[in-house]
Amino acid sequence: VMWNTLRQMAGLLLKNALVTPPLPKNTPTDALGRPLPGHGGRMALPPDAAAEIKHGLLRCIADEETAVRSSASTAIARCCTAAVALGKSLGAFAVKQWGELLPFLLQCIVAGNEESATPAEDAAAMGALVTLRKLLEDIPNCLSRDAPASSFQDMVPALLRSLRCPSEGRRKEALACLNCFIEPMPGSLVAHMNDYLGGLSALAADPSPSVRRLVCQGIVAMLNSRTEYLQPHMVSIAEFMLRAT
């Protein structure tokens, strides 16, 4: 237990160090510690160090310990998000420069969907879903634009299959991910819209209140921006929303 607590703390410290890289020595700063205009940016990681860290983070989101997976997924999501703003100093963690990130997440989710999945594969699938959900919450448009196209297109079918998983946690994370796709609306979700709506319908009676809450959130998001897909189902949607409230 102590070792896993230390690993979790190490992950959080690593995340904080990465998203706030140190300034070069003697860089003049303002009262908040920010470099003054015209005095350069923050230090960048050497490529070999960045590659080692990225490899370690991917390995940790497949860890058997929930706390370690959570810490690693947070580090990945925050680094990818910070890379959008920090540019060169954290460029190695930009989605476009981290070509193996989304394929690895997809691989873990697909493996966990198999009936013959081992406990280790189940844990890895959960870690991948949590990581993907955090990325989609923070940088959905960047992910849809910069991630490898083939992996991004295959992600929606994999998530739809995860909706049928016996694990409540996996169903919840998969649905949260799919709901995050509504705003950017990639072509893969449009192509599988009937399957997504069918998934919402099937989960409307899910025993988990958290899953049913996400069903409501998905419907509301669709009503706010993609009403045309819901027009044929308005009566059943109204009945469900009345029952849910």
At 88 the pLDDT is 67
User: How many Å from the N-terminal Cα to the C-terminal Cα in the chain?
Assistant: 41
At 127 the pLDDT is 98
218 burial (CB, 10 Å; 0-12 / 13-18 / 19+) is: buried
For 4-64, the three-class secondary structure string (H helix, E strand, C coil) is HHHHHHHHHHHHHHHHCCCCCCCCCECCCCCECCCCCCCCCCCHHHHHHHHHHHHHHCCCC
Residue 174 to residue 161: CA distance in whole angstroms = 9
Asked whether the beta carbons of 191 and 168 are under 8 A apart, the reply is: no
CA dihedral over 140, 144, 146, 152, signed as positive or negative:
positive
pLDDT tens, N- to C-terminus, the chain (245 residues): 678 889 989 999 999 888 887 777 777 777 777 767 766 666 778 889 999 999 999 999 999 999 999 999 999 999 999 888 776 668 899 999 999 999 999 999 999 999 999 999 999 999 999 999 999 999 988 888 888 888 888 999 999 999 999 999 999 999 999 999 998 888 899 999 989 999 998 998 899 999 999 999 998 898 888 888 888 778 887 887 777 66
Token pair 């896993």 in the structure block, residue:
4
The secondary element (H helix, E strand) that includes residue 76 is helix 66-86
The values of phi and psi at residue 109, to 5°, are -65, -45
By 3-state DSSP, what share of the chain in percent is helix, strand and coil, each rounded to 5?
75, 0, 25
220: its two tokens: 């509301």
Enter the pTM of the model.
Answer: 0.88
Which 3 state secondary structure label does DSSP give 140? helix
Which 3 state secondary structure label does DSSP give 116? coil
